[in-house]
Each structure stands twice: as C-alpha cells, then as structure tokens.
Chain A
Amino acid sequence: MKHDDLDVLLQDTLRAEVAAASDRIIDLEERVVMELGDRRPRLRWFQWLGQLAAPTRATRWGQIAVVGATAAVFLFLGLTLSDRIAPNTPAPQLSLQRLGTADGMQSVLFVWPAPLEAESVAVVGNFNAWEGTDLSDPDGDGIWTAQIPLAPGRYEYAFVVDGKWQGHDPRADEVIQSFGQYSSVRYIGRGGDDA
C-alpha cells in the first residue's frame, strides 16, 4: 500500500467513524447551553478588579456590594478590636471640643491624656475662678475628661495633674505666659474661630 493511499484511507475512516456516531452530538449545543444556564465566563482576578471601574457591566453593582460589605466588616472589626488591642494607650485627642450649643452656651469637652499612675486631673481657668473642675477617667485608659458649659468668649485655662501645673495644651488656640508659667487660651463662639 502506498503512503498516499493510506492517507486517504485514514482520513475516510476517521470521517466515517464520526458520521456513524453523529447522533450522539446532534443536540450538543442545546445541552451545553442548558447546562451553562446564566453562567458567565470566569473572571481572572485582575479582570475582576478592572470590571469594578467598567460602567457598563450588569454585575458591577453586585461586585460593588460585595466589596462594600467586605470593607464594612473590616471597618467594624477594626473599630471593635482597636479598643481591645491598645486599651491603655492615650490617643491624641482634642483637649477642647465644642459639642453643641444651647441658649448661646456651648458644652466644651476638656481632655487631657495623663500618665496611667495619675490620681487626679483638674482644669482651672477664668471660667471657674481658677478653683478647679475635676476631670474623670472612668474606664482607666488615661484619658481624663470633663464637659463644661461655656458662653462665647475668651478663656484662659490650665490643667493640674496630681498638683502639677500643665499650662501648655497643644490644642489651644494660643498659649500665653504670665507670672512665670504657661496658660492656654481658647476662644469660644463669636470671640473664637466659630464666629
């Protein structure tokens, strides 16, 4: 048998074999489409990220929802665990915060991060005739706070920690020096930066 004859015979044989079994694939496309249903080609990871920016995808909102939910979970865990991980580390905070107004008065929050061994912290100023208002630290995290209602105006103040004067509040509007010691100044309402 010549090689060319064998080529033709081989080709005819293979084709005839498929033709004889063609009933097995007569509805293959229908079966494949039915099995696929509404599936889509699988996205590769970089394509998946890229699709978030593509505005035409029907699936975009679903993917954004997944990413949003994931971010929310991480945010929740972060907020929850941050207190557990470093409960005694004083965080940098505003020493003075305005929390609201009522009849022109503003409830001002005084905050002072003191050493953990501190036993007493007070704020003294011209709003309390330099008599001292105690700050408290109920959760023992070293952040001492007091909320004092103040009318608009200029106020000089300082903190007293275990009897020691602490007049340099880094969050004050300004710091002044008088009689050889520092005091902080805060402007509330029209006299200050919320005017």
Chain B
Amino acid sequence: MYRVQDEVSLLRASLQGETGAWGEIVSRYKDAVFGLCLGFMRNRADAEDISHDAFIRAYINLRKYDLERRFSTWLFTIAANLCRNQLRYRKNHPSTEQPLQMAGGTDPAKLVSAEDRQAKVRGALNQLPYSYRAPLVLRFYNELPYQEISEILSIPEGTVKTRIHRGKAMLKDLLEEGA
C-alpha cells in the first residue's frame, strides 16, 4: 500500500508513528545505506549492523529532519557518522576480523576477467585511508554530487574534489603495482 506513496507522505506517516511506512522507507534505501556502510567499513557484518542502527536512529530522531531538505542526504549523514565512530573505536580497539579479501586469492597478474579486475579494485580500496575511500564510495556507489558529499562528510566541497582525484590516483597506482 505504501508503494504508491511519495517519500514525503511516507515520512509524514512515519512521524505519526506508523512503523509500516518507515519499513517502506527502509526498503527503498537499504541498498544505498548498506552499500555506503560496506564501502566505508570494508566488512559485511559491520555494514549490516550499522545499516540497521542507522535506520533505527533515523526513525527515533525523525523530528530533527527538515522536510524541506533532501532526505537521503540526512540519512546518509547518520550512516556515515556511525561508520566513522565505529572506525575510530576499531582504531583504538583492534580486532582480529579481516576486511574483505580479494576473490580467488591467486596471483594478481593472472587476474584478467572482469570479476578478477573487480577483486583487484576491492583489494586496492582496502588499502586506501578512510578519508579517501569515503568520498569515492559516495561518488561512485551512491552517485552523489560533490555538494552532497561535502554535507555528509562535513568537509568543504573543494576538499571532496581533491580527495576523489587523489583517491583515484592512489587506486590507479595500487592497481598498476599489482598488475
């Protein structure tokens, strides 16, 4: 029944306590939020937990959301902040859990198929610092404009452009080193 409703109607219904409407919002955004978290965290279990947490927190704090603004930006900001907090915690409390590994585990020089090329990119992404990885994920997975990335990460738009450019250059170097 919620499929035919626009986003603002769903949000208004959610504000009235209709969790079913919020479930529809989750359904619409779960891929985007999970992809953001997975790209930031490089760990599926963390991405799943944080996605879940982000939707709960967004609902509880829904009255802080300004209906005039873009909802996705607000939601992504919550998810990004949760990821950043978790990464800070991990930095001080290192675990034995490994980040996503390259598929196959074979010599990178022998990886020639599209799937293998993606595996190499995953490996390279794992090596990028968070400050470069986060803008790349928001730009290339979530397909957001620079201005929105700037809002979500709370950094100037110029810095976003610089980090994306440098992040790609670093990725390219890493991929060529492994080729």
Contact = CB atoms under 8 A, between A and B. Distances in A.
- Do A and B bind? yes
Interface string B18-53: 011011101100110011001100001101100110
Size category, B interface: 35 or more
A24 B140 contact: no
B161 to A, nearest CB: 13
Nearest to A34: B19
Nearest to A56: B16
Interface string B99-136: 01000000000000011011001100100000000001
A13 interface: yes
Nearest to B34: A25
Contact of A18 (B23, B35, B61, B64): B35
Contact of B30 (A11, A13, A29, A40): A29
A32 B38 contact: no
Interface residues of A, number: 35
B6 to A, nearest CB: 18
A25 B100 contact: no
Contacts of A1: 172, 175-176
B163 interface: no
Contacts of B55: 28, 32
The prevalent SS among residues of A at the interface is: helix
Contacts, number: 120
B90 to A, nearest CB: 19
Counting chain B CB atoms within 10 Å of each CB, the highest count among A3, A35, A36, A41 belongs to A41
B56 A35 contact: yes
Contacts of B137: 14
Contacts of B26: 28-29, 32-33
B140 A7 contact: yes
Contacts of A42: 60-61, 63
Contacts of B56: 32, 35-36
A61 to B, nearest CB: 15
Given A6-B172, A29-B30, A33-B22, A40 B38 contact: no
Given A7-B140, A14-B137, A18-B31, 11 more contacts: A10-B136, A13-B121, A13-B122, A14-B35, A17-B35, A17-B38, A28-B55, A32-B52, A41-B14, A41-B60, A42-B61
